[in-house]
A and B are shown apart, each in its own frame.
Chain A
């Protein structure tokens, strides 16, 4: 492969954003979960909710910090490696990002300090409000950033003059055709991801017969939430797909490795797409199911890539396999909740083998989210703004190959240190489990159980 600033910048952006998305995938759900726990504690005054909340807040602190530092990289990426895209899209996308900062980032960042360190310093209701504000901030942030990404996928409300986009209708820009579906599908994905992590941690605690009471509270409650959310997510994913078929048909064709437009199309389960011959090898397919799933009609027409010139679509194999991985993981998630319902009916929810299964299924949401984003972003290629601005036209013109090699190496090395360390440290908190009892009532998350008093020489 020929290395140039474009391909290296693609790799760099993929690297930094893939790592970054892992964090909000967890912290959005976890912020809400902590707010719920704090709320239940505030109203019921039951100590066990306090202890579980303190436990998760310690984990939250680490992951949120990692989310912040990897997030700060992102607006600068747009400038450093994609300056032509920045110049072209600024009029449309910059206010969306601006409002994300103004309505979400400041909210979550400011109240985070109180959430982590302020339990001793503010009334209990104020600490609960702080938790709520952090959770709200994460959701508002998701709204704006997905609006921006969705506009890139299904641009609307604009005019394109001399290589620059200009806004015509802000409501059409923000609530562009794919936004509602992408937003719903992503938020539910975030909650499902956190849900499986909580279930895994709870299963671990129960299996090790440590802090079993806390574990049981987490396990059953969260599985109920997942029982609602996983089928909902499948439904939302289907709607998202129908919307994509309407507005980005070439992306559907690539996801399905479908070369010839046809009705009564099969569903290709496995294939090796060959872009040179515009056909698939080693095909394993189910007849008719393609049209049924993609269009909800047996006679529905599924687009084929040969309808477009080769430079109008991106790589086929990547979105094809990424999508199948995501759906496969969804099937596993669905199976887990079906099993949980069966076991509940038998009053044997916490049997040993199911606990083990749940424990190892912990990371499943993260993998599904990565697979889904690869599908949608690689599927959007060769466009940064679908149908209008190409990725090749978006890259910063002043960069050389060595420039981007250096920066890519820098990001890779640093992320490969920071992220594993963060995961290991969170793992240690999990293995220790929530405290059995905490001596002082109001203690902020992150503090050890015996406060250190000020040594004499540090007072005047």
Chain B
């Protein structure tokens, strides 16, 4: 008897994407904040706060994309070409961001170029990912098993806005990380930047929450009809609580880990909101998770290893973070 692995795979792929967003989110956010650093020693400290962990973080991107390919290949085959140019831009930006770690340190003659590559690469990659998110929510033109329509369809006012929203979001995560890892003037600056980003994030959540149902009657029906409207009121209430909490801890020097946790909380609640809007569709208006899924044999073959390996991965990744715990030390990393 073959089990239905789709719910489990939905959880796993969803979790992998969420982990990616959190982990690469904070290091792309840190990369963006790098562009605002006042001087070279600050830049070095900022970069060193993520230097030992960025590669592991970015590996979740591979896991998320390959996980999508493995569990929901029809979705992969439709979504990825439909966002052809945002993916191209994201990859090129990630290339510059990735090599900038080593190159800015080793190529002293062009350090300004590599500084820009690092911060702009982080910004552009974030913006591109936000466009992909917006395009995903809006859905795609599909015929049979293929995306039809142009490679530029994904660039819409809505997706450009979600691009900006994600910049605020990753900026907030990055600020939270820097508050955790730095002290003194750098930390104070990160707190201030965090407050600005928080305002941006909250405005974005509000606008996207209104715009999404406005442009999609199915989603509007899901949120605003009785009795759903009762079951779903906790969502905006929880969001407001987290927002208030985040505002308070950003300004309070006693709370060093809380701003990062609050940012994670905002991402978590937004993620839940999007899932509620879209479930069970993985290609909005066309295919459910079940319709896009790979063969049961495939899902079974991969789940066995995944359930065994994911906890191990989390353990040694956690160990790696623990090795580099505490404030950024000036003798660990690049100089």
Contacts and interface: CB of A to CB of B under 8 A. Distances in A.
Which of B56, B105, B146 is most buried by chain A, counting CB atoms within 10 A of its CB? Answer: B56
Contact of B302 (A99, A109, A454): A99
Interface residues of B, number: 81
Given A91-B295, A98-B67, A110-B56, A120 B99 contact: no
A380 interface: no
B69 A101 contact: no
A67 to B, nearest CB: 10
B190 to A, nearest CB: 13
Contact of A65 (B53, B74, B99, B182): B99
Main secondary structure on B side of the interface with A: helix
Interface stretch (B159-167, B242-250, B271-279, B312-320): B312-320
Contacts of B42: 458
A351 interface: no
A363 interface: no
A86 B310 contact: no
B81 A79 contact: yes
A102 B305 contact: yes
Given A105-B59, A117-B333, A170-B301, A80 B80 contact: yes
A109 B70 contact: no
A118 B150 CA distance: 48
A85 B18 CA distance: 27
Given A65-B102, A422-B103, A451-B330, A83 B298 contact: no
Interface stretch (A24-32, A238-246, A397-405): A397-405
Nearest to A444: B332
A80 B320 CA distance: 33
A167 B301 contact: yes
A155 to B, nearest CB: 15
Given A76-B87, A79-B76, A399 B106 contact: no
Interface in B100-144: 101-103, 105-107
Given A109-B55, A121-B324, A397-B148, A101 B73 contact: no
Nearest to B188: A460
Interface in A385-421: 396-400, 403, 406-407, 410-411, 414, 418, 421
Interface residues of A, number: 80
Given A75-B65, A110-B320, A398-B146, A425 B102 contact: yes
Given A83-B147, A95-B70, A95-B301, A452 B330 contact: yes
A81 B297 CA distance: 26
Given A103-B309, A113-B52, A398-B150, A457 B298 contact: no
A99 B56 CA distance: 16
Interface in A49-91: 61-62, 65-66, 68-73, 75-76, 78-81, 83-84, 86-87, 90-91
B62 interface: yes
Interface string A152-186: 00000000000000110010000000000000000
Interface in B292-308: 294-295, 297-298, 301-302, 305-306
A414 B95 contact: yes
A435 interface: no
A447 B335 contact: yes
Contact of B335 (A99, A110, A403, A452): A452
A106 B56 contact: yes
Contacts of B95: 69-70, 72-73, 414, 418
Given A83-B146, A117-B51, A425-B106, A458 B41 contact: yes
A339 B330 CA distance: 49
Given A69-B95, A407-B88, A83 B107 contact: no
Contacts of A112: 55-56
Interface string B225-250: 00000000000000000000000000
Which 8 A-B residue pairs are closest in the complex by CB-CB distance?
A79-B80, A90-B73, A113-B52, A94-B70, A69-B98, A87-B77, A451-B331, A83-B77
12 contacts: A72-B58, A72-B94, A75-B62, A86-B73, A90-B69, A97-B69, A113-B323, A400-B150, A446-B334, A453-B330, A458-B182, A458-B185
